[in-house]
């Protein structure tokens, strides 16, 4: 076993304990923001494992156009990955088109075409993919209520919900993260800057797309190594003239907000990338 694996094991074990007890731990954090503690844990993990991470703040929300999220990342969905990791390879070429996901089609047909919210057609999806203990009928009722709420009240961040709703209610609905504040839609960013949904907030993403909502907050899970290289070029550039033309085309990408040199040419207000094609060789 490599030294890296030996060092990483305690962190993986601690993370597993945290995941199994996330409701209890999250309740302990209800009166304060857990992100400073998580940033410290992430920093320790980075030092111990020497795994590559982005320069970006792993817990900072990025605002994107939900229509630009066109794939579902097919990389490992376990807790082997931390927010902000940089991973090379072909993981971004194995993604699945978002509109092929059963529940996305159900939500889209319901909102855009007025079809009944027939979740029974996709009961198998919940049983095999979600593996949740919650009764299936209850999940469908919650989905219907979520559509109603977003349609009438607009899309709200988890912090906004936390300010308005009882923490225990939110914690009971939080199935994916150790604290409600981290339960935002998550995306991976492929080598070309394309956005791929990953793990959290699939229902909210599908609803926002179908309702035509133009902006939603997301957390970034993994950046492809080639995309991180683009970020690095923006960080190092003193002016837009320092950037190669092939890199300048990414000006306006939401993940590069704040990194564009001052002399960058003006762009329109749309800060989300055009929905990309699947990355090719």
Q: How many CA atoms lie within 13 A of 188 on its CB side?
A: 30
**What is the distance between the alpha carbons of residues 60 and 63, in angstroms, rounded to a whole number?**
10
Q: What is the largest CA-CA distance in the chain?
A: 57
Tokens of 242: 């320092």
d(CA 227, CA 198): 17
Q: What is the spatial distance between Cα 255 and Cα 61, in angstroms, rounded to a whole number?
A: 10
Q: How confident is the model at residue 191 (pLDDT cuts 50, 70, 90)?
A: very high
The C-alpha angle 119, 124, 129, rounded to 5 degrees, equals: 105
Query: Does the residue 271 lie in any domain?
Result: no
Domains: count for the chain: 1
**Beta carbons within 8 Å of 14's beta carbon, 6+ residues apart:** none
Residues 6+ apart with CB under 8 A from 39: 57, 58, 59
Which pLDDT belongs to residue 67?
97
Mean pLDDT, the chain, rounded, equals 79
CB atoms within 10 A of CB 221: 24
Asked if the structure places residue 172 within a domain, the reply is yes
Answer yes or no: is 10 within a domain. Answer: no
Q: Look at residue 262 and tell me if it is in a domain.
A: no
Q: What angle do CA 126, 130, 132 make, to 5 degrees?
A: 90
211 lies in some domain: yes
Domain that holds residue 208: 54-256
Burial class (CB in 10 A: 0-12, 13-18, 19+), 61: middle
| Secondary structure class of 86 (helix, strand, coil) | strand
> Given CA atoms 208, 213, 218, 224 in this order, what sign does their dihedral have?
positive
Q: Percentage of the chain with pLDDT > 90? A: 43
- Over the stretch 223-236, which tens digit does the pLDDT of each residue have? 999 999 999 999 99
pTM: 0.78
**Contact of 195 with 91, CB cutoff 8 Å:** no
Higher pLDDT, 274 or 173: 173
Count CB atoms within 10 A of the CB of residue 148. Answer: 11
What mean pLDDT do residues 40-69 have?
89
Residue 231 lies in a domain: yes
What pLDDT is attached to residue 161?
84
- Per-residue model confidence as pLDDT tens digits over 150-171: 999 999 998 888 777 665 565 5
- Look at residue 188 and tell me if it is in a domain: yes
Within its chain, how far is the Cα of 183 from the centroid?
A: 9
> Does residue 230 form part of some domain?
yes
Rounded mean pLDDT, 87-112:
92
For residues 197 and 222, the answer to whether their CB atoms sit within 8 Å is no
């Amino acid at each position: 076993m490599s030294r890296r694996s030996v060092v990483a094991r305690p962190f993986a074990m601690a993370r597993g304990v945290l995941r199994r007890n996330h409701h209890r731990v999250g309740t302990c954090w209800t009166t304060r923001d857990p992100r400073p503690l998580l940033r410290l844990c992430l920093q320790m993990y980075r030092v111990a494992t020497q795994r590559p991470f982005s320069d970006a703040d792993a817990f900072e929300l990025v605002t994107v156009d939900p229509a630009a999220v066109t794939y579902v990342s097919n990389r490992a969905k376990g807790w082997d990955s931390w927010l902000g990791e940089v991973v090379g390879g072909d993981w971004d070429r194995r993604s699945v088109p978002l509109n092929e996901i059963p529940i996305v089609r159900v939500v889209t047909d319901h909102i855009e075409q007025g079809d009944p919210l027939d979740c029974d057609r996709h009961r198998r999806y919940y049983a095999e993919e979600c593996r949740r203990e919650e009764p299936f009928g209850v999940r469908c009722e919650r989905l219907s209520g979520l559509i109603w709420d977003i349609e009438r009240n607009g899309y709200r961040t988890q912090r906004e919900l936390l300010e308005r709703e009882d923490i225990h209610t939110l914690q009971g609905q939080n199935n994916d993260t150790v604290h409600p504040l981290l339960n935002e839609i998550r995306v991976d960013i492929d080598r070309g800057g394309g956005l791929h949904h990953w793990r959290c907030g699939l229902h909210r993403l599908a609803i926002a797309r179908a309702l035509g909502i133009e902006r939603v907050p997301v957390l970034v899970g993994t950046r492809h190594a080639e995309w991180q290289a683009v970020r690095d070029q923006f960080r190092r550039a003193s002016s837009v003239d320092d950037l190669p033309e092939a890199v300048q085309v990414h000006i306006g990408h939401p993940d590069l907000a704040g990194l564009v040199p001052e002399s960058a040419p003006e762009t329109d207000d749309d800060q989300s990338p055009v929905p990309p094609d699947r990355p090719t060789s």
